[in-house]
Amino acid sequence: MRAAAVQFEPVFGDIEGNARRLAGLIEPVDADLFVMPELALSGYLFESTEEAEGLSQPPESGVFDRLAAIAGEKDATVIIGFAERADEGLYNSSLLMAPDGRREVYRKIQLFNTEKEVFLPGNRPPAIVEVAGVKLGMMICFDWIFPEVARSLALLGADILCHSANLVLPYCQDAMVTRSIENRVFSITSNRVGTEKRAGLELTFTGQSEMVSPRGRIIERAAVTGETVLVHEIDPTEARDKQITPRNDIRGDRRTDLYRLD
Ligand code: ACM
């Protein structure tokens, strides 16, 4: 399959314009899977919960229709980060649009810093979405620093970690190499670029979107700045071989009788 990481700089608050530009970025690209950054429609730094509410959508919103149509036309899957409006509040979520029209949502579990003032933490366990026989696991940005998130997805059989991000700390791109190695899975980290100066804060996002193989090879890493789409042919079945040596299996050798998990 051909997998794509979309590195993007949203214009804060321009939901329709960002959706249009994202569609324009992927329309000419031949791929089966497109992973876009966290909060790619709205931007990241909200002044208040009210402002975030005004820039939020339910997953069935028409603002996703063009991207969903592209998924159908290309027989591809499109994953995008967005501010999800739910009855009980807002979640920092990823929406997966499958070629058959399905829309599946993942709600970020590990909120970062001021996100805790705006969003509710995800209330559902990590889950796998299977499309055309490939098992996709969604995670969002700061989820990376809790290895349990990637591990949970891997134990559920994920072939590819689809990691939508707005990274500001310098560690994640290297850490995702480890997440791939320790779980023997592909990872696609799609990060945003640019600087936001809002809500009394200034954040510069670290770009360097990347694709990593189950053996920890960086297939490609993008630059720190600039919008781009990385596209590579990958074989998801490589992620199903968990044998590290003839005597070591990453799944079977785990000593759950000895680990302390809480
Ligand atoms: C982050 O989780 N957006 C840093």
Q: Which residue has the tokens 């608050």?
A: 13
- Torsion angles phi and psi, residue 240, rounded to 5: -95, -5
Q: Does residue 261 have a pLDDT over 90?
A: no
Give the pLDDT confidence of 208-234 residue by residue, as tens digits.
999 999 999 999 999 999 999 999 999
Residue 172 annotated to the active site: no
* 3-state class (DSSP) for residue 180: helix
Q: Report the distance separating Cα 90 and Cα 58, nearest Å.
A: 10
Give the pLDDT confidence of 123-165 residue by residue, as tens digits.
999 999 999 999 999 999 999 999 999 999 999 999 999 999 9
Q: Report the distance separating Cα 15 and Cα 19, nearest Å.
A: 6
Measuring CA to CA, which residue among 46, 164, 31 is closest to residue 96? 164
| 259 band by pLDDT with thresholds 50, 70 and 90 | very high
Q: Does residue 13 have a pLDDT over 90?
A: yes
How many CB atoms neighbour CB 99 within 10 A? 18
Q: Which residue has the tokens 């979107």?
A: 209
Q: Are 95 and 64 in contact (CB under 8 A)?
A: yes
Q: Report the distance separating Cα 205 and Cα 250, nearest Å.
A: 33
Q: Is the CB of 144 under 6 A from ligand 1?
A: no
Q: Report the distance separating Cα 224 and Cα 62, nearest Å.
A: 32
* pLDDT attached to residue 181: 98
Q: Residue 186 has which token pair?
A: 């592909």
Give the pLDDT confidence of 77-96 residue by residue, as tens digits.
999 999 999 999 999 999 99
* 3-state class (DSSP) for residue 11: coil
Specify the pairing of strand 33-35 against strand 77-86: parallel
Q: Is the CB of 166 under 6 A from ligand 1?
A: yes
* 3-state class (DSSP) for residue 239: helix
Measuring CA to CA, which residue among 89, 66, 91, 70 is closest to residue 81? 91
How many CB atoms neighbour CB 252 within 10 A? 8
Q: Does residue 262 have a pLDDT over 90?
A: no
Q: What is the mean pLDDT of residues 9-32?
A: 98
Catalogue all structural domains in the chain, each as residue range(s) with its CATH number.
2-249 (3.60.110.10)
* pLDDT attached to residue 11: 98
* 3-state class (DSSP) for residue 69: helix
Ligand 1 centroid, distance to 113 Cα (angstroms)? 8
Residue of 114, 142, 149 best suited for mutating to test ligand 1, as the one with most atoms within 8 Å of CB:
142
Q: Does residue 241 have a pLDDT over 90?
A: yes
| 236 band by pLDDT with thresholds 50, 70 and 90 | very high
Which residues, listed in sequence order, are joined to residue 35 by a DSSP beta bridge? 5, 79
Q: Is the CB of 34 under 6 A from ligand 1?
A: no
State the chain's mean pLDDT as an integer: 97
| 199 band by pLDDT with thresholds 50, 70 and 90 | confident
Specify the pairing of strand 33-35 against strand 2-7: parallel
Give the pLDDT confidence of 52-82 residue by residue, as tens digits.
999 999 999 999 999 999 999 999 999 999 9
Q: Is the CB of 119 under 6 A from ligand 1?
A: no
